[in-house]
Amino acid sequence: MTPESAISIPLDGIRLDNELSLDESLSGLPARRRRAEVLPGFGVSGAITGLVVTALVILPLAVLVLRAASLGPAGFVAAAWTPRARAAYAVSLGASVAAAAISSTLGLVVAWVLARINFPGRRLLDSLVDVPLALPTAVAGLVYSTLYVEKGWLGRYLVPLGFQGAYSRAGIVLVLVFVSLPFAVRVVQPVIESLDRDTEEAARILGASRLQTFFKVVLPAILPAVLTGFALALARSLGEYGSVVFISGNMPFKTEIAPVLIVSRLEEFAYAEATAIAVVLLLLSIGLLVVVNVLQQRVARAAQ
Amino acid sequence: MSSTPTTTGSSPLARAAAIAAAFAIVGGVIVVPLASVFFEALAEGPAAWWRAIAHDPDTRHAIWLSLTVAPVAVAFNTVFGVAAAWLVARFRFPGRSLLISFFDVPFAVSPVVAGLAIVLIFGRQGLLGPTLEWLSLKVIFSWPGLVLATTFVTLPLVVRELIPVMEAIGPEEELAAVSLGAGGWQVFWRVTLPNIRWALLHGIVLANARAMGEFGAVYVVSGHIAGATDTMPLRVEKLFQEYRTPASMAVASVLASIALVTLIVKFVIERRIEAEFHEREGLAPPADSPAVASLAIASPKEAVA
């Protein structure tokens, strides 16, 4: 997208900013080019921002990567690719993908209802979706582990049915769904709100069934947003520690996720291994960040 | 938060089923766990709850520690957020978009990885370890480390609230103030701050909630020493590991109450922002970039004016 096309967005009409990446939505009106000469504070704000970003973001991550690089390729692989680490990546990825898929599906339903239907309690439901964002993850982990044990509120019905929701991989998925659900809802909701309903009505008038309309008209339009929600839920789940550590039981090779392994290596003062595993996780999350950015551009283009 | 939809089209039965499904999902995933915190915490009565909170010195210390670490981290982020938003929203310079993407990094990185990176710099075997030891300063396993880790994980929250708002408002009023002879601080206190105050408060509330609840990064840098470096969330875990679940639930219920109050305040502030933007004729409410807002505890606000 060029700066010129950003200018054409009418300020008084529908704003598409939240489908645009930040940079695109900010790009320049000609008048703003004068600011640097007129408005004060460039030096001060630049110094504060530069200092904080360097000290808090760039330096720590650079040190992490350099520490891992100092192991050498063979040393890095030996540290990052042990059988236990491989098992931890598998549990992390498996549980996160499952949780992101469940969150995206459930989130789509919730987003649809919130965006399309007016009913008593809609505002309350809308606010409740934010709870996992504000509730400390340790609280979520604690509660989920007590809910699904044999004597817990839900466990007493589910355990006899053979569903072990605590100290199991299923438990990891459950708590990750809690943690990641708001992302899936909040990314899709505004896109459904901005959908042009005329297209759907046209499809119905032309004889398409409800399901056909959904799969042929609605889904293609919201798919980039759903995928973005999936990627964000996945990113959040991959890095999650606080809630999982309560519910998973942290059994090596079975329910140990990568962040838990990093911590336990660190507690054994095995810095090299902890760092190597952290770098693998870091690369995964930065890769996901890139994917999210690409998807965001697709969302923006679809909204045009 | 979203605009009220107009219900058209589908049959009442389908609508009812969809609403029921949405309530079942949010109820099962969110409301039941939330409610059970309070039920479990008060299972043995309010007296037992109060004993667990107030009569355990380690728990008291954890509450005090959380109440001192979070505001400092939030204060750092407020200064950083205002400065960074001013820089990015009011100036164009090379490397600007790269800088903006750096703001997002703390959302993408696992808190555990962030904590490890801080240990690698400030820990005894870290980059600055010998220097800190020589100065007899302690960062890791101590209060400064907690503040650093908490500041890192909450770094994007304030700045990400402010950038879209400052962009939507535009520099015209500030340019006018400057052309009338106002100095830098005058412009900030008299023009910029009144315009961004609700968004700033929104960011501060969200950053505070996140700071109070941070677990992974703080767990790594704190050494989780009871009565010394345990914050409230770490205390929840410690009590749980010691099979003192009721006490753990009591501390968790305090954290859950903070979260609920946060959401209520957030709701009220969002109404204010809405109202204020409706006053500014022809200006749509600022829309957060969803990638960012949703990774945080913020939620994207309305897309439609």
- The b/e string for B273-303 (b: 16+ C-beta within 10 A; e otherwise) is bbeebeeeeebbbbbbbbbbbbbbbbbbbbb
Rounded CA separation B202/B277 (Å): 15
Whether residue A279 contacts residue A65, with contact meaning beta carbons closer than 8 Å, is answered with yes
Which of the 8 DSSP states describes residue B10? S
Q: Which of A35, A106, A271 sits opposite B25 (nearest CB)?
A: A106
Whether residue A32 contacts residue B171, with contact meaning beta carbons closer than 8 Å, is answered with yes
Residues B8-36 have a mean pLDDT of: 89
Rounded CA separation B156/B96 (Å): 16
Q: How many CB pairs under 8 A join A and B?
A: 395
Rounded CA separation B138/B131 (Å): 10
Q: Which of A60, A127, A242 sits opposite B114 (nearest CB)?
A: A60
All structural domains of chain B with their residue ranges: 11-41, 46-293
User: Which tens digits make up the pLDDT trace of A65-99?
Assistant: 999 999 999 999 999 999 999 999 999 999 999 99
Polymer length in residues for chain A: 304
All structural domains of chain A with their residue ranges: 4-30, 40-70, 73-303
Q: What is the pLDDT of residue B149?
A: 95
Judged against a pLDDT cut of 70, whether residue B10 lies above it is answered with no
- Per the structure block, which two tokens stand in for B110? 């696992």
Judged against a pLDDT cut of 70, whether residue B299 lies above it is answered with no
Q: What is the pLDDT of residue B153?
A: 94
Judged against a pLDDT cut of 70, whether residue B148 lies above it is answered with yes
The top-level CATH class assigned to A73-303 is: mainly alpha
Mean pLDDT of chain B: 86
**Range B46-293 has CATH code 1.10.10.10:** no
Task: Say if the Cβ atoms of B80 and A52 lie within 8 Å.
Answer: yes
> How close A175 gets to chain B, by Cα (Å)?
9
Task: Say if the Cβ atoms of A288 and B108 lie within 8 Å.
Answer: yes
Q: What is the pLDDT of residue A97?
A: 96
Q: What is the pLDDT of residue B4?
A: 63
Task: Say if the Cβ atoms of A17 and B289 lie within 8 Å.
Answer: yes
| Range in A17-21, B14-18, B48-52 the model is least confident about | A17-21
- The b/e string for B66-99 (b: 16+ C-beta within 10 A; e otherwise) is beebbbbbbebbbebbbbbbbbbbbbeeeeeeeb
Task: Say if the Cβ atoms of A139 and B114 lie within 8 Å.
Answer: no
Best mutation target, B8, B30, B262, to test chain A (most A CBs within 10 A): B30
Q: What is the pLDDT of residue A297?
A: 78
Residues of chain A numbered 192-221 and touching chain B (CB < 8 Å): 193-194, 197, 200-201, 210
> How close A259 gets to chain B, by Cα (Å)?
6
Residues A50-55 have a mean pLDDT of: 94
The confidence band for B124, taking pLDDT boundaries of 50, 70 and 90, is confident
> How close A302 gets to chain B, by Cα (Å)?
15
Residues of chain A numbered 107-136 and touching chain B (CB < 8 Å): 109-110, 112-119, 121-122, 125-136
Question: What is the ipTM score, two decimals?
Answer: 0.85
Task: Say if the Cβ atoms of A143 and B220 lie within 8 Å.
Answer: no
Rounded CA separation A109/A229 (Å): 13
